[in-house]
């Protein structure tokens, strides 16, 4: 049975938009070294209906969602910001209502709020394909005559003309710059809006409140915004995105935990649960990469039996299962309410239970590291070392928020050392489990022993280095 075709496809757009008058003459691209031939296409009629929440949440994040007919790419489209002049476009086939696959792309923004049509835009488009010196297309120039209406009672129809210039294939960004200059010379001006929808709705980026004076609260706000971006990457299964989303989740939790007296207990618990769900996929991803590197480094005669299938392929399968579990959590009402709560925290002043501004200090965060280190000397357990890592992580984020670079660097060193140690603990436990399974299947277990020894040496190295790292951190803090 043939594999099912994916319902969505992704494209990267690198383009610029320009405002022009109705009387502006379309530019000639003759004489440009980057263009050897121009191919003109018949005028296209593009009809699009744009969808958003009642409060234009997508537009506020510079995201557009539309159902378009006409042209060569009819269907549902989501356009996401991806850097200067760059957007990611996700497409799905035409349906009457918003496809679930398309809604899922923007679920962290929309959550469970209803989507409705907010604008209708009709475009008469003349397309010129520009070819480079090697005979391949380098850019597409579009001359658009637009009529648009926002679907609200007070809206009046609008009409305007604009140009779009988009790179094609692997054309270099320098080509875009040269061609853009030709358009400016012809009388165009950089577009005043990032998209046709933004123009018709007259919605730009939301007016941001002043940045919080408290540096920790400000860091929380920045990381909540980052969480929304990593959410989209996880849904697209971008490499390392689960790791980055988990790191961001834990950053927020560490920073909020330092705001003594604030009423964030439920949020902290929810962030902990989310990190745990993401951790299933992340731990499997770490193990797959770790074992693949270790096995590749061993001489072939020391890799015995189906060890690669058990360790590497098995971890990758566990990653996929963990990723699917993460997606299920990220599509739940519980997750959406967590995002609502985080945004409410960002919007609120940072205060203690007594109503005074929260004072999160590097000194206070360091004392928790020192306390954990003292306890670890007594306990001498892997779990005690892991607690030092957790406190060092909180200190790192707090110090970074306060601009204490030396302290943040020292805390990161401890976090990395003990992160390697914890990964070794998890890996050795996994190796023992897989060794038992291999032995029961009658397989050679020699290689598992080698890998176990490698992991044990990693842990011993971390234990040998942690004392010096703690001493260096104490100096950075000034104690």
For residue 4, tell me if it sits in a domain: no
For residue 90, tell me if it sits in a domain: yes
- The residue segments making up the domain with residue 113 are 9-201
Residue 358 is classified by DSSP as P
CB 44 within 8 A of CB 70: yes
Q: What is the pLDDT of residues 71-80, one digit of tens each?
A: 888 999 999 9
Backbone angles phi, psi at 255, to 5 degrees: -70, -45
Residues 230-239: contacts with CB within 8 Å, 24+ apart? Answer: 231/107, 231/108, 231/330, 232/80, 232/105, 232/106, 232/108, 234/278, 234/323, 234/326, 234/327, 234/330, 235/104, 235/105, 235/107, 235/327, 235/330, 236/10, 236/105, 237/323
Give helix then strand counts, H and E, for the chain.
Answer: 15, 10
- The answer on 189 and 279 residing in a single domain is no
How high is the pLDDT of residue 402?
85
CB 148 within 8 A of CB 196: yes
Among all chains, which residue has been given the structure tokens 């909540």? Answer: 224
Helix H or strand E segment including 85: none
Boundary (domain end) residue, out of 152, 167, 201: 201
The CATH number linked to 64 is 2.40.320.10
For residue 206, tell me if it sits in a domain: no
Residue 300 is classified by DSSP as G
Boundary (domain end) residue, out of 177, 201, 225: 201
Name the nearest CA neighbour of 270 among 252, 243, 244. Answer: 252
CB 215 within 8 A of CB 401: yes
Boundary (domain end) residue, out of 141, 174, 201: 201
DSSP per-residue codes, 96-132? SS--HHHHHHTHHHHTTS--EEEEEEEEEEEEEEEE-
How high is the pLDDT of residue 2?
42
Among all chains, which residue has been given the structure tokens 């291999």? Answer: 438
CB 183 within 8 A of CB 27: yes
Q: What is the pLDDT of residues 304-323, one digit of tens each?
A: 999 999 999 999 999 999 99
For residue 210, tell me if it sits in a domain: no
Tokens standing for residue 20: 């022009």
- The answer on 177 and 224 residing in a single domain is no
- The answer on 290 and 195 residing in a single domain is no
- With a cut of 50, list the residues of the chain below it in pLDDT: 1-5, 205-206, 260-261, 352-357
- The answer on 444 and 310 residing in a single domain is yes
- The answer on 123 and 44 residing in a single domain is yes
- The answer on 62 and 99 residing in a single domain is yes
- The answer on 225 and 108 residing in a single domain is no
- The number of folded domains in the chain is 2
How high is the pLDDT of residue 97?
93
Tokens standing for residue 474: 């104490």
Residues belonging to the chain: 479
3-state secondary structure of 345: helix
- The answer on 328 and 427 residing in a single domain is yes
Alpha helix (H) residue ranges in 298-313: 307-308
For residue 3, tell me if it sits in a domain: no
3-state secondary structure of 149: strand
For residue 1, tell me if it sits in a domain: no
Backbone angles phi, psi at 54, to 5 degrees: -65, -30
CB 64 within 8 A of CB 194: no
- The answer on 120 and 245 residing in a single domain is no
- The Cα 401–Cα 392 span in angstroms is 14
Torsion of CA 47, 53, 56, 59, to 10 degrees: -60
- The answer on 197 and 222 residing in a single domain is no
Residue 351 is classified by DSSP as B
Helix H or strand E segment including 352: none
Name the nearest CA neighbour of 425 among 460, 374, 465. Answer: 460
For residue 246, tell me if it sits in a domain: yes
3-state secondary structure of 88: strand
Alpha helix (H) residue ranges in 348-477: 362-379, 382-401, 405-440, 446-477
Asked whether the whole model's pTM tops 0.75, one would answer: yes
- The answer on 365 and 430 residing in a single domain is yes
- The Cα 79–Cα 82 span in angstroms is 9
Name the nearest CA neighbour of 455 among 247, 285, 287. Answer: 287
- The answer on 118 and 43 residing in a single domain is yes
The CATH number linked to 356 is 1.40.20.10
For residue 211, tell me if it sits in a domain: no
């Amino acid at each position: 049975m043939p594999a099912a075709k994916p319902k969505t496809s992704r494209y990267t757009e690198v383009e610029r938009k320009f405002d022009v008058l109705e009387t502006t003459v379309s530019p000639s691209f003759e004489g440009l070294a980057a263009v050897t031939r121009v191919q003109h296409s018949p005028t296209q009629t593009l009809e699009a209906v744009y969808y958003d929440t009642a409060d234009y949440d997508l537009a506020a994040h510079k995201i557009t969602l539309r159902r378009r007919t006409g042209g060569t790419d009819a269907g549902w489209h989501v356009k996401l910001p991806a850097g200067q002049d760059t957007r990611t476009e996700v497409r799905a086939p035409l349906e009457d209502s918003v496809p679930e696959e398309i809604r899922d792309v923007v679920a962290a923004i929309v959550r469970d709020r209803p989507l409705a049509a907010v604008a209708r835009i009709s475009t008469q488009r003349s397309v010129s394909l520009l070819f480079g010196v090697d005979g391949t297309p380098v850019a597409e120039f579009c001359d658009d005559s637009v009529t648009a209406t926002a679907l609200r009672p007070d809206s009046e129809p609008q009409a305007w003309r604009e140009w779009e210039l988009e790179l094609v294939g692997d054309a270099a960004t320098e080509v875009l710059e040269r061609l853009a200059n030709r358009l400016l010379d012809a009388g165009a001006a950089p577009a005043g809006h990032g998209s046709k929808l933004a123009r018709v709705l007259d919605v730009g980026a939301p007016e941001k409140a002043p940045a919080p004076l408290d540096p920790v609260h400000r860091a929380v706000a920045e990381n909540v915004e980052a969480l929304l971006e990593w959410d989209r990457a996880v849904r697209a299964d971008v490499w390392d995105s689960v790791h980055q989303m988990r790191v961001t989740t834990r950053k927020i939790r560490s920073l909020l935990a330092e705001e003594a007296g604030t009423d964030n207990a439920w949020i902290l618990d929810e962030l902990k649960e989310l990190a745990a769900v993401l951790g299933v996929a992340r731990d499997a991803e770490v193990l797959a990469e770790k074992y693949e590197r270790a096995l590749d480094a061993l001489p072939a005669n020391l890799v015995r039996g189906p060890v690669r299938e058990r360790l590497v392929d098995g971890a990758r399968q566990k990653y996929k299962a963990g990723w699917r579990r993460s997606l299920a959590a990220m599509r739940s009402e519980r997750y959406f309410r967590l995002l609502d709560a985080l945004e409410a925290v960002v919007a609120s002043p940072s205060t203690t239970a007594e109503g005074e501004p929260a004072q999160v200090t590097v000194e206070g965060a360091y004392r928790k590291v020192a306390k954990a280190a003292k306890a670890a000397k007594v306990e001498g357990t892997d779990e005690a070392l892991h607690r030092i890592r957790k406190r060092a992580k909180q200190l790192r984020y707090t110090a970074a928020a306060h601009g204490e670079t030396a302290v943040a660097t020292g805390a990161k060193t401890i976090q990395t050392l003990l992160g390697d140690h914890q990964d070794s603990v998890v890996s050795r436990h996994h190796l023992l489990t897989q060794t038992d399974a291999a032995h029961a299947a009658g397989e050679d277990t020699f290689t598992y022993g080698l890998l176990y020894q490698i992991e044990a040496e990693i842990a011993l190295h971390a234990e040998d280095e942690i004392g010096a790292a703690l001493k260096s951190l104490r100096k950075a803090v000034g104690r």
